[in-house]
Every structure is written in C-alpha cells, then in structure tokens.
Amino acid sequence: MTFVAQDLVVSGLSVHYGGVRAVNSVSFTVGAGECVGIVGANGAGKTSTLKALMGLVPRHADTLRFGDHDLTRTKARDIVRCGIGYVPEGRHVFPGLTVEKNLLLGAYTLPWKTAVQQTMSEVFDLFPMLAEMRHRLAGALSGGQQQMLAVGRALMANPKLILLDEPSMGLSPKLIDDILTVLRRLSAAGHALLLVEQNAKLTFEATTTCLVMENGEVAMTGTSTTLRHDPRVRQIYLGL
Amino acid sequence: MRWRIASVAAVGVLAWYLPYQLDLYGIHVVDIAIVFALLAIGLGLAMGVGGQINLAQVAFFGVSAYAVAILTTKAGLGFWTAAVLAVLAAALIGLFVGVPALRMQSHYLGIVTLGLALAFTNWVTNSAVTGGADGVSGIPVPPLFGIDLSSEYLYYYVELIVFGLALGFAVFLVRTGLGRRLRAMRDDSLAAGAIGAPVPVLRMTAFVLASLYGGVAGVLYAGLIRYVAPDTFSIANMFLLLAMVIIGGRQSILGCVVGALALSLLREALTDFATYAQLGFGAVVVLMVVFAPTGLAGIPGRIHRALRRGRAGEERAVLKPFQPSGHESRGSGASLEISGISKQFRGLKALTGVSMTVAPGEIRGVVGPNGSGKTTLFNIVSGIYTVSSGRASVNGTVVTGRRPHQLSRLGIARTFQNLRLFGQLTVRDNLLVALDRTSMWSVWRYLLWPIGIWRSERTLRQRADALLDRFGLSDFAGTTPGSLPYGIQRRVEIARALATNPSLLLLDEPAAGLNGQEVGQLREIVRSIRDSGVTVVLIEHNMGLVMSLCDRVTVLASGAVIADGTPAEVAARPEVIEAYLGDSMNTADLITEAESVR
Amino acid sequence: MEVFFQTLVGGLSFGAVYALVAMGFSIVYRTMGLVNFAHGQVVMIGAYAASTFYMSAKLPFALAIVVAMAVTGLIGLVIERVLRPLENKDFDLMLIGTIGFGVVLESLATIIWGATGHAVPSPVDTAPLDLFGIRIRTYSLVVLAIAAVATVALILFLQRTKRGAAMQAVAMDHEAATAVGIHVGRSNAIAFAIGAGLAALAGALVAPMLYVNPTLGGSLGIKGFAAAILGGFGNIGGAIIGGLAIGVLDSFAAGHFQAYSELVVFLAFTVIIMIKPTGLFGERTVNRA
C-alpha cells in the first residue's frame, strides 16, 4: 500500500437540525499524522462536527476532503473505506456481542482472514485487558474498558485518521490518564487524530493544535500550549 | 361559520329526501352504511383522536348486538330496555379491553385487542346462548309510538337522527376540553401528563367512547336486521372497518364517516367481485399509510398548503416582544426541598444522595457536565421517574411517588430538553390543554350539560388569547408548532408550562438552540415569570445565561452535588473548574479575571 | 397421566410451529423495529405454496418447502421496500400498513387457490410410535426435528457468519454499524427475507396438520405474535420458549375447554402480558424524557 500524505480539509461546514444551527461554517485542517483537538462546553457543536464529517447528520460544506476522497459525496457507510476510523461519543460498542466480535466488526470492510487476525493481535498488544476479556459480552465491560474497546474497534480497519468523540466522558481521573497514554501511543504509531473533548486538560496534553468552539462556531484557534494558559478558554467554558 | 351552517343544513335536507330516490335494496344498503359509519366514528375516536390502537371495535359492536338479541328473545325484555342494557354491556367490555392500554401501547396493544376480538368470535360461534354458528333470530321490531319500524324506509329516519346526534356529539367532543386532552395524549403522552392530563383515565376514556359508539351501532344493527350471526363480527370486518378509518382519515371524525359510507357503498357495488374489492381495499390502505397518512380528510389541507406556498410572503406572521405582566404577584412561589435522592437504572447510578433547597421566588441554576444526572433530577421532581431512595417536597408536600398529572395540579410545571409540544395541535390548543384545569369528573357535563362546557370553553379561549398576547405569539395561534422556527417553539413550550398556573417551574435547557438575541429575550421572560410569583429551577449549559440570571447555582457531577452557591462563588471553586475543564489548572488568575469582567 | 403427556406432545409439535412464526417476527423486529402484522398471512402463503408444489408439481416435500421459502422471501422483500419510508418514524402507521398487506395477501390467496382450501396428506406415512402408552405421530417428530434444525441454523448464522454478526450489530446500534461500514438497508432487507422464509417453513410444516385455507394466517399469526411477545420481543431464544408455551397452553386449553380454547388462550395471554408487559425474557426499556 502506498502511503500518500492524506490531509483532512474542512471548510465552511454547517449542520442544521430542524431549524437549529448546531454548527456554523467551521473550517480546519488535520495534516497527515497530526493531532488536532476541538474543545468547548456542552452544546458548542463539537459532536455535531464529527458526526457531520462521518456523514451521520445532514450537513453542508464548501470543502470536505480527505486525501483524494471527496467526503461530501461519500455515504456514511463508506467513510471507513476512505481510511477514517470513528470512536463515537458514549462508546457505542455492540453490547450483546463479545469483545472479539466487536473488534471483528471493526474490520467489517476487510476480508476476515489472517491480516485481520494480525491487526487484532496488535490491538490486544495495545490493550492487553481486551485480550483477557475477548469472550466477554461488550455490554458487561466497565465504562473505561468499553472505551478501550471502541478505540480498538476503530483501529481494526487500519485507519489513517481517527475521530474520537469525548473518550473521557464519565471516566475517573485515573482512567483519563490511561486514555491520554493511549492517544499518545496512537499518535506515535503514525495515526492522525481529531479529538473532540470537553476535558480541556486532556486535549491540550494530547494534541498539538486546538480549536475552541462556542455556539457552533470556532471561537479560538492556536497551539495547545498557548491555549492552555489562555484565560479566555476558561471564560468561554464558565460563561464569565 | 355561516358557510358551515349552510352546508350542514344542505346535507341534512339531502339526507332527509334521500329515501325518496331509493328502492328497497338501496335503502337497505344505506341503512347498513350508517351502522358502519357509527362504528367508524368510535374507532376514529379511539385511534385517530386518542391514539389508542383498537382492533376490538367489531367485538364492541357484537357484544351490543348479541345482548339485544339475547335479552329480547331469551329474557323477554322489551327492545329499548334491552338496548340500554346492551350499550352498557358494550361500555363495560370497552373498559375491560381498555385495561391493557394502561400498561402497553402501540403494537402490543394491537395484538392484545385483536386477540380479545378473536376470543369474542370464538365465544359466539361456540356458545349455546348465542346460538353458535346459526346465531339468534327473531329479534322483535323496535316499537316506536306506533311507527312501523319494520319498514326500512322509516327505520332510516331513526338511524339518521341517532347518527346525526352521535356525529354532532363526537365533533363537539373533539373540539372541546376532553377531545383536546385526548389529542394531546396522542401526540405526546409524557408531555400531556406533565401539564395535568390524567393519561391513564384518558386511555380508558378512549376505549369507553369507542365501545359506546360500537354499542349504539350494535343496537341499530339488531333492530334493523333482527338477526345476529358470528360472521358479521369477524376479523375480516374489523379490517374493513380499519380500512374505512384509514382511507377516510383517522384523525378527522368527518373523514371516518366519509370513509365508512364510501367503502360500504363500494363494497355493495363490487359485491360480485368481493375478493378483488378486498384486495383493492388492502392495497389502498398500504398506499394511504405511505403516501397520505392523514387520509382523504387530509387532502384539502394539503392542497391548501400547496396553494399558500405558491403565493408566499403575503402577510408574514411576526413574533412580537414578550410583555412582562405588570399586575398581580401571587405570593412568592413555592419552595423546593430535595433530600438525599438516589436513582439507579439497572445498577447504573444516575444520582447519589442529591440534596438541595430552593427558596420561594428564587431562580436556581443546575449545571454540570454531560451525563451528570441533571435531567434525571427533573424527571424525579416532575413525577416521570420514581426515586430509588430519598424524597423531594414542594412547599412541604412530598412529591416523590406521585404521578406527573397530580404534580401538575400541585403547581409543578416543566419544559423538556428536546421540546415536547403537541405536534398536531395548534399553538392555541397547546396552551388550552394546559389552561384547562377541570378534573376528569366533570365529563358528566358532556352527557347532561353541554352548554356548561361551551361556556367554560369561551372563558378558556379568552385566557389563552391573553397568554398568547403576553408571549407575543398571537400571530401563530392557529399554526401547528412543527412549522415554526425553533426559537418560537421554545417560547410556546414555556407559555404552555406557565398556562398550568404553576408555583414551581422547571426549565430543561431553555436556551439550547437559541441565538444571542433570543437568549436575551429568554432572560427577560424568566425574570418576569419569577416576578409574577413562580420559583424557577433551570438546567442550562449556556453559562453566560446562568451567571447573569440565577440567584444561586447548584453544580452536579457524576450524579452528586459538588458545589452550591452564588454564581461567582461557584465559578471560582476549583472542583467546579475541574469538573468542566478536567483540571483546576491555575485558578488564581481566573478569579481576578472574573472580577475584572464584573 | 397418559392424557397429560399425550396433550403435552401434541402441544409441543404445534408449539414448534408457533416458535418458528415467533422467530420470524422477532428477527424482523430486532433488526428494524418493524412489527409485521402480515406475518401470519405470509405463513399462510407459505403453507399454500409448499402444499401446491408438493401435491400438484409433485416435488419432494423438502424441495417444496425450499421453493416456498424463496417465494415468501421475495414477498418479504416487497413489504420491506414499500414500507421503508415509515421505518423508525411512525410505529402505528407501519402497523396498519402491514395489516393492509395482510389483507392483500389473504385476498390474493383466495383469488389464486379459492376460498375453500384443501387438506394436505402427511408426507410421512409410517405408523405412530408408541412410547410408554403415548401415541406419537411420526410427523410430529419430523416437525420438531426440522424446527430444531432451523433454530440451530439461524443461531449459527447469527453467531458464526460475518453477515449474521453485522445484522446483530445493526439491531444493537445502527449508527455505530454504519460507521464500521455496514449497509444498514441491505441488512434489514435480508432480515426481512429470513423472517419471511421462516414463515414459509412454519406454514409448510403446519399444512399437513391443519386444513389449509386463506384465513389460516390470522390465528397462526396472532398466536405466533403472542409467543414472540411472551418470550420477550426480539429475543430469539425467548421466541422458542414462548412458542412452545403457547402451543402447550393451546393444547391443554383444547383438552379442557374444547371449542373455547382460543378464548382461554387469548385471555390467559392478556393476563400474562398485563402482569409482565416485557415478556418472560424481555428487557425493560427506560422511558427518557
């Protein structure tokens, strides 16, 4: 497989739900292997932005391109075939199926042969806990374990870019540290990441560039290190 | 209005002279069609108006017809005595069939009512008292002041009068309080309960109404044919009846009648091709549900809307500013006391030991990250959820463990995160459902004192118009909420909650989806509501609104209260900042920053 | 005691048929939330198709069943395609739409095969077995065996194949399923075809046990639906137990109440479902505001 540089280019992306404008003309770029974060309070339009990229909600955009693929013309079910993995908000693992089956379904677009077994063992290396629980039903896993499974499922299709929606939601500080470790390892392995988070600290530590969203628009953009010490971020969060 | 009266009169005159144009066979067909029209009205009331799937309508019909037959031929009662008892029997069966509706809805209810209808046919085909497959014959001709009702021409007039009254009653009912509540329950039973409509009683009412119409139809049928057999009450006829109601338009009483008359006549005309006719009816039903779910009755409205779209922008409706009420502050609102509430869903802890006290006349903000249990707390206080432990009381009255409609009567009102307006009711009707505080006991007036209902409707309408005015919604009074912009819908929902005359108002994310200007208006509205004597608790993510509006703020995280205090105090607490941003970071500069903003 | 076991055995073979009907209901409901009120009529068409291919075209019984399953599978695809606009939107309209389809299928059957119906000779003509004084018809055993094989095949399909796993994934979370690349519409269509195929199997098996006529679907459909609800709607294992339970209940009701068995079965069903609306193995869903 030739590895062409694949940038995600988004410009003028808007999302409407029956009269409500959830996302208003958002633009950004995620370069190959880059880590970009989107932070903001609840209801700022972060999740809608990701869902719009995945084609899961009706959207409008001037440009929506990943490498050579024009995502505006790609059906939701084919996004994964372009090399984009998705870790939805609230995990959304398949609760009645085993951990192993969940991972295999992550590789639904590939033939279930030896190559997939190889990827699965790589996922198990990354998350040894999943290997132990491979025959357990996903619904019986704890929140943190389900989060790891959701990440593992996305990895199974060998994505070049992974979209993560609030992986820290409902997790304890200890588990959030684990998530951070995982994100750093994914990045080190060459995956580009687009991380949507309410947890600003986690995002600033895991990414290099960040967008701050407010009321469906990009309020600030900058490197994670500068934003980290910018009091305006906290004002946007706390409405001061 | 004048046009309407004229057309009713015209139809009445035509109906009166119709028999002069018909031969004996023709009048028989019409007599049967009227019976089906009565059945269709009943089915329309249960399904179209009340939203209760009822596949047992033929059983109500059958119970009554068989009761007349058995009581007259075997017990020797007079026809009209038997008729009254038969209608009562049908109503009783209606109550019985309606009981499952308290526990289940939709397809479950469909299968249960269908099963009970089958049970009924099973009983009549086998029981000795019903004459088995042969049925009961020899029902006497109904006596009526010496008029010979064995003539189907004269019987037609009896049917016509009964039908006219029944139709008028149904139309009156749909347009007034009871019907409005039924329609509200159909559109959204959760919201209907939250504004004081007793949903369980209404569900039973829908079935009793259906069975009453079925009962009257049964009596007329027994008097007309004077012979009953199981075939008439078969499942095939149930489906025919369903086709009538769906094709005519289940939500419109007139539509049901038109559907019933049309299909009855069509079936007679196609009697030599009965199977093909059935095939056609089935196919039309399928096409109708996919392409025209409102049936024939919905077509004029569709044409009207299409025409209006053609010449848009004639006189645009405008949202007028909210008018703070200058007058009367009725007390200072209720106090809310929540002590040690916990709630678990199948082992998942949504709330653990939540306590908070809201003083009368306060505006309290409840904030916290996603999934911290804010809406669960509202659902408990408004009676939608039961608690696992702990309790909540309003003005000293314990509210946990009561039904939503009871709490509405205690003065608790709420709005919903994802807007739960009654989609097929006009904005005015949405408010009227909430304004109508009469108890279900007053339904007796429908039978004995309709004038009284008419009068209270008039005062309700005046109050609705005043409320619409206050909220600047007058221009939208006649539109359905679904066609309105989101911001206006939010305002309608607040107006509806306020229409219940609450002392405690719970607002769940009232600013979600609003633009900056609308948020400003919302702030005005909430302040004015508080000033008129209502305690307000609001869940909100728009922190700017919370900071500027609320007297005190309670912060929830992972189902527990982590902070409580004035907005400035709360925003400075490290644990709050941590809950929101994931880290307390350096809070010192933040506080100075906050103070310089103020 | 002998009578008891005799009734039990009779009930179980009918119960196996109800279980197949219930499984068809469940697999469709599970994947797409559609309650197919025409399912009983699909069973009836299956019974007619199989018996016609068996008696008139002189196909072997097993082959006749397979052909009938293909026919009803196609009908299932048509129903799904026509009602697709209503999916996940209006439950009540969808329900009425499938009732409409039921009426269409019933009248089609009357047009094709006539209103009188026909009896189907048992494809197995060996003498009944005698087991400790209980007479067991060989055909009953065949029915039980085929139903068991079909159940195992369905479970294997769902658990061992990629397509089966994808169908389950769609049922559990169709958005997440889309995100991993599953074509949800195609998966639903296949589920519908399988459900209809199971209906044909049930119809074909029940044909020699009952008199085949156009109204056969009504009662079989409702009892199968009752079985599905009893087992917890959408639960395949529950459907089997629900089906056997309804069969046995039916059989005992017929023994004790003779002609009133239907009355008793439906009253009992109503009472059970009132007490436990989610069925014996169903999960309670949380009502979210």
Closest CA to A50 of A165, A161, A152, A199: A165
- Give the orientation angle of helix B24-43 with respect to helix B57-73, to 10 degrees: 120
Please name the residues in contact with B5: beta carbons below 8 A apart, sequence gap of 6 or more.
none
Strand pairing report for B535-539 and B504-508: parallel
Cα–Cα distance, B84 to A25 (Å, whole number): 69
DSSP state of B417: T
Per-residue confidence band for A19, with pLDDT thresholds at 50, 70 and 90:
low
Please name the residues in contact with B539: beta carbons below 8 A apart, sequence gap of 6 or more.
B365, B366, B367, B374, B375, B378, B417, B507, B508, B509
Query: Which residue did the predictor score with more confidence, C4 or C76?
Result: C76
User: For B60-81, how does the pLDDT look when each residue is reduced to its tens digit (9 = 90+)?
Assistant: 999 999 999 999 998 888 889 9
* Complex confidence, ipTM: 0.87
Instruction: Check if the beta carbon of residue B61 is closer than 8 Å to that of residue B182.
Output: no
Angular region, A92: left φ>0, alpha ψ -120 to 50, beta rest: left
User: What is the model's pLDDT at position B67?
Assistant: 95
Query: Which residue did the predictor score with more confidence, C86 or B569?
Result: B569
Cα–Cα distance, B466 to B478 (Å, whole number): 15
How far C123 CA sits from the closest chain B CA (Å)? Answer: 31
User: What is the model's pLDDT at position B316?
Assistant: 59
How far A169 CA sits from the closest chain C CA (Å)? Answer: 17
Instruction: Check if the beta carbon of residue C198 is closer than 8 Å to that of residue C150.
Output: yes
Q: Annotate B522-556 with b (16+ C-beta within 10 A) or e (fewer).
A: bbebbebbbebbbbbbbbbbbbbbbbebbebbbbb
User: For B334-350, how does the pLDDT look when each residue is reduced to its tens digit (9 = 90+)?
Assistant: 889 999 999 887 767 88
Query: Which residue did the predictor score with more confidence, A139 or A3?
Result: A139
Choose from B21-35, B104-118, B443-457 the range with maximum mean pLDDT. B21-35
> Are C108 and B112 inside 8 Å of each other by CB?
no
Q: In chain A, helix, strand, coil percent, each to 5?
A: 40, 25, 35
- From C173, C176, C181, residue closest to A109, measured CB to CB: C181
pLDDT at B590 over 50: no
Lowest-pLDDT range of A66-75, B1-10, B45-54, C73-82: B1-10
pTM for the predicted model, two decimal places: 0.84
Q: Which residues of B touch A198 (CB under 8 A)?
A: 369-370, 580, 582
Q: Which residues of C touch A101 (CB under 8 A)?
A: 165
Segment B519-548 shows an average pLDDT of 89
User: What is the model's pLDDT at position B307?
Assistant: 78
Return the percentage of chain A with pLDDT > 70, whole number.
95
Which position has the token pair 């432990």? B389
Say which amino acid occupies B313: G
Cα–Cα distance, A207 to A228 (Å, whole number): 11
Strand pairing report for C134-136 and A217-223: unpaired
How far A13 CA sits from the closest chain C CA (Å)? Answer: 20
Segment C113-129 shows an average pLDDT of 78
User: What is the model's pLDDT at position B420?
Assistant: 92
3-state secondary structure of C275: helix
User: For C236-272, how does the pLDDT look when each residue is reduced to its tens digit (9 = 90+)?
Assistant: 788 888 899 888 888 888 777 777 877 888 888 888 8
User: What is the model's pLDDT at position C282?
Assistant: 57
Per-residue confidence band for B313, with pLDDT thresholds at 50, 70 and 90:
very low
Cα–Cα distance, C59 to C70 (Å, whole number): 15
Per-residue confidence band for A41, with pLDDT thresholds at 50, 70 and 90:
confident
User: What is the model's pLDDT at position B58?
Assistant: 94
Segment A91-114 shows an average pLDDT of 89
Closest CA to B83 of B214, B211, B225, B220: B220
Give chain C's mean pLDDT. 84
DSSP state of B5: H
pLDDT at C136 over 80: no
Q: Which residues of B touch C250 (CB under 8 A)?
A: none
Strand pairing report for A8-17 and A59-60: antiparallel
pLDDT at B584 over 60: no
On whether any CB of chain B is under 8 Å from the CB of C111, the answer is yes
Query: Which residue did the predictor score with more confidence, B275 or B443?
Result: B275
Return the percentage of chain A with pLDDT > 90, whole number.
37
Cα–Cα distance, B95 to B88 (Å, whole number): 11
Closest CA to C240 of C120, C155, C134, C183: C155
Cα–Cα distance, A213 to A200 (Å, whole number): 12
On whether any CB of chain B is under 8 Å from the CB of C222, the answer is yes
Q: Which residues of A touch B372 (CB under 8 A)?
A: none
User: What is the model's pLDDT at position B118?
Assistant: 87
Which position has the token pair 């209809």? C196
- From C90, C260, C274, residue closest to B122, measured CB to CB: C260
Q: Is B396 exposed, middle or buried (0-12, 13-18, 19+ CB in 10 A)?
A: exposed
Choose from A39-43, B325-329, C176-180 the range with maximum mean pLDDT. C176-180
pLDDT at B328 over 90: no
User: For B142-155, how does the pLDDT look when each residue is reduced to its tens digit (9 = 90+)?
Assistant: 888 878 888 888 89
Lowest-pLDDT range of A49-63, B577-591, C67-81, C273-287: B577-591
Closest CA to A161 of A72, A53, A18: A53
Per-residue confidence band for B170, with pLDDT thresholds at 50, 70 and 90:
very high
Length of chain B counted residue by residue: 598
> Are C226 and B283 inside 8 Å of each other by CB?
no
Return the percentage of chain B with pLDDT > 90, whole number.
42
Which position has the token pair 């005159």? B13
Segment B404-425 shows an average pLDDT of 91
Please name the residues in contact with B437: beta carbons below 8 A apart, sequence gap of 6 or more.
B196, B409, B500, B501
Per-residue confidence band for B314, with pLDDT thresholds at 50, 70 and 90:
very low
Segment C111-138 shows an average pLDDT of 78
Compute the CA torsion angle A218, A221, A227, A232 (nearest 10 deg). -40
User: What is the model's pLDDT at position B582?
Assistant: 63
pLDDT at B224 over 80: yes
Say which amino acid occupies B484: L
Per-residue confidence band for A18, with pLDDT thresholds at 50, 70 and 90:
low
pLDDT at A127 over 50: yes
Instruction: Find chains touching chain A: ≥3 CB pairs under 8 Å.
Output: B, C
Segment C28-57 shows an average pLDDT of 86
Q: In chain B, helix, strand, coil percent, each to 5?
A: 60, 10, 25
Give the DSSP H or E segment for B460: helix B450-470
Query: Which residue did the predictor score with more confidence, B73 or C138?
Result: B73
How far C282 CA sits from the closest chain A CA (Å)? Answer: 14
Return the bridge partners of A192, or none.
A161
3-state secondary structure of B175: helix
Chain B residues touching chain A at CB-CB below 8 Å:
369-371, 485-486, 509, 512-513, 516, 541-547, 558, 571, 576-577, 580-583, 585, 589-590, 593-594, 597
User: What is the model's pLDDT at position B39?
Assistant: 95
Strand pairing report for B412-414 and B504-508: parallel
Lowest-pLDDT range of B52-66, B157-171, C116-130: C116-130
> Are A200 and B370 inside 8 Å of each other by CB?
no
Phi, psi (deg, nearest 5) at residue A3: -100, 90
- From A79, A92, A96, residue closest to C175, measured CB to CB: A92
pLDDT at B586 over 60: no
User: What is the model's pLDDT at position B195?
Assistant: 92
Residue of chain C whose alpha carbon sits nearest to that of A111: C162
Cα–Cα distance, B206 to B47 (Å, whole number): 8
Please name the residues in contact with B17: beta carbons below 8 A apart, sequence gap of 6 or more.
none
Max alpha carbon distance in chain A (Å)? 56
Q: Annotate A168-190 with b (16+ C-beta within 10 A) or e (fewer).
A: bbbbeeebbebbbebbeebbeee
